[in-house]
Amino acid sequence: MSDDVPRAGTAPVRWRHRALLLSFLGLVLLPAFVVIFYLYSRAADQYASNVGFTVRTEEISSAFELLGGVSGISGSSSSDTDILYEFIQSQELVSRIDASLDLREIFSKAQGDPVFAFDTSGTIEDLVDYWPRMVNIFYDPGTGLIELRVKAFDPEDATAIAQAIFAESSLMINDLSAIARDDATRFARIELERAEERLRSARQAVTKFRTRNQIIDPQADIQVQMGLLNTLQQQLAEALIELDLLRETTRPGDARITQAERRIMIIEDRISQERNKFGLAAGTNQGLDGFSSILGEFERLLVDREFAEQAYLAARSAFDTAQAEAQRQSRYLAAYLKPTSAERAVYPKRGLTAFLIFAGLLVSWIILVLIAYSLKDRR
């Protein structure tokens, strides 16, 4: 190659190159350095406690089903798990745990870490907003499994919060189970109370009737009266036969005939009086308040009481059945992962966090540079 061939010179550094360098330093390296410095010098260690649970519905088989070979089936309830998922994020749960453990004190222990620590002057709304940063929820709707990662600046605090969440969730599920049982038996209980009141009124009516009429069992009294009436009828027939014999064998005006006629008259009067007690006297209204009226009222009361007893037995059976069905389905919270105790701090993940922030800043800077060059080329 000839020495006369010109060589390419060094390109001069222009202002846009300096601007790119300065923007890279100011928008990428400097913020990344500040973040890394803060993570490794000021950010407090966070300890994690993991707990996992699910809502189970235990269907207890009845004795009849057990004899038939049908066993109980245990499964998860997705609707209850959805409710529990929302409850764990609710202000009600945060307020309960704050009242028992003082979450403001627990989450503000890292005083030198204003980014990750909680401000003690914050309201309950601020605490609820801060809650998802320290309590991470992993929920699988398909299986109904809920797993929590509870973070705190002290390992014992993290475990205590995880235990408190599980305890409060168990109480909530128990309340749901109690409400479901009450709903399942409410109508049957109302019907049972009505049947009990009806039976009580029917029995009181029978008692008042017996007290007013001084009769325990009118039917038994009727049997006695019927026996007496039959006896009088037999005696009347015998007296009539005896009178006929006397008239055939004695002279008219015999004293025995007069005595027999007197005896027949007394028996007929007694029969008439006994008939009046049953309301059987023809052409009179004396029997309206007699035994027939009393017997009719008593039979009506007995029918009412019998109907009330049958209605009570049916209502009692329906209530027992509803109660048994409600008891067969029992909800409870089953922990497949009990609250763990951390031995070392794994959060914040300083290396990963620093890398992600640096990568985000770098990508943002590249996009800005491309936009700037694109605008320059359009001029």
- Among residues 164, 166, 106, the alpha carbon closest in space to that of 134 is found at 106
In eight-state DSSP terms, residue 323 is H
pLDDT for position 76:
45
| Token pair in block for residue 157 | 């605090």
List the domain range (segments joined by +) for residue 80: 45-188+328-353
Judgement on whether residues 293 and 339 belong to the same structural domain of the protein: no
With respect to residue 11, please indicate whether it lies within any of the assigned structural domains.
no
Per-residue pLDDT of the chain (379 residues; tens, 9 = 90+): 445 555 545 545 566 677 888 888 888 889 989 988 888 888 888 999 999 998 887 655 444 344 344 444 444 445 788 889 999 999 999 999 999 998 999 998 887 788 888 888 889 999 999 999 999 999 988 888 999 999 999 999 999 999 999 999 999 888 888 877 777 778 888 888 899 999 999 888 888 887 887 676 666 666 676 777 788 888 888 888 887 887 778 777 777 878 878 888 888 888 887 777 655 444 444 444 556 677 778 788 888 888 989 999 998 888 888 777 766 656 778 888 999 998 888 888 888 888 999 999 999 999 988 888 788 777 6
Residue 215's contacts (CB-CB under 8 Å, 6 or more residues apart) are 221, 294, 298
pLDDT for position 48:
93
In eight-state DSSP terms, residue 25 is I
Q: 3-state DSSP call for residue 329?
A: strand
CA–CA separation, 294 vs 314, rounded Å? 30
Judgement on whether residues 213 and 290 belong to the same structural domain of the protein: yes
Judgement on whether residues 264 and 150 belong to the same structural domain of the protein: no
CA–CA separation, 276 vs 282, rounded Å? 9
Query: Residue 332: enclosing H or E segment and its boundaries?
Result: strand 329-337
With respect to residue 81, please indicate whether it lies within any of the assigned structural domains.
yes
Judgement on whether residues 163 and 197 belong to the same structural domain of the protein: no
- Among residues 152, 162, 160, the alpha carbon closest in space to that of 130 is found at 152
| Token pair in block for residue 357 | 């922030």
Specify the CATH number for the domain of residue 67.
3.30.1890
Judgement on whether residues 144 and 203 belong to the same structural domain of the protein: no
Q: How far is CA 78 from CA 138, 180, 335, in A?
A: 15, 15, 16
pLDDT for position 49:
93
Angle between helices 291-328 and 218-249 (to 10 degrees): 150
Judgement on whether residues 63 and 101 belong to the same structural domain of the protein: yes
Domain total in the chain: 2
- Asked if 53 contacts 337 with a C-beta cutoff of 8 angstroms, the reply is yes
Judgement on whether residues 82 and 213 belong to the same structural domain of the protein: no
CA–CA separation, 133 vs 22, rounded Å? 35
With respect to residue 304, please indicate whether it lies within any of the assigned structural domains.
yes
Judgement on whether residues 95 and 197 belong to the same structural domain of the protein: no
With respect to residue 368, please indicate whether it lies within any of the assigned structural domains.
no
Judgement on whether residues 304 and 229 belong to the same structural domain of the protein: yes
pLDDT for position 50:
94
| Token pair in block for residue 288 | 């309206």
Residue 298's contacts (CB-CB under 8 Å, 6 or more residues apart) are 206, 209, 215, 218, 219
Judgement on whether residues 340 and 285 belong to the same structural domain of the protein: no
CA 40, 43, 47: angle at the middle one, nearest 5? 110
CA 28, 115, 155: angle at the middle one, nearest 5? 125
| Amino acid identity for residue 254 in this structure | D
Judgement on whether residues 219 and 306 belong to the same structural domain of the protein: yes
- Asked if 327 contacts 61 with a C-beta cutoff of 8 angstroms, the reply is no
With respect to residue 35, please indicate whether it lies within any of the assigned structural domains.
no
CA–CA separation, 71 vs 60, rounded Å? 8
Judgement on whether residues 65 and 134 belong to the same structural domain of the protein: yes
Residue 133 phi, psi (nearest 5): -70, -30
CA–CA separation, 9 vs 14, rounded Å? 15
Specify the CATH number for the domain of residue 267.
1.10.287
With respect to residue 240, please indicate whether it lies within any of the assigned structural domains.
yes
Pairing type for strands 329-337 and 135-140 reads unpaired
With respect to residue 113, please indicate whether it lies within any of the assigned structural domains.
yes
With respect to residue 12, please indicate whether it lies within any of the assigned structural domains.
no
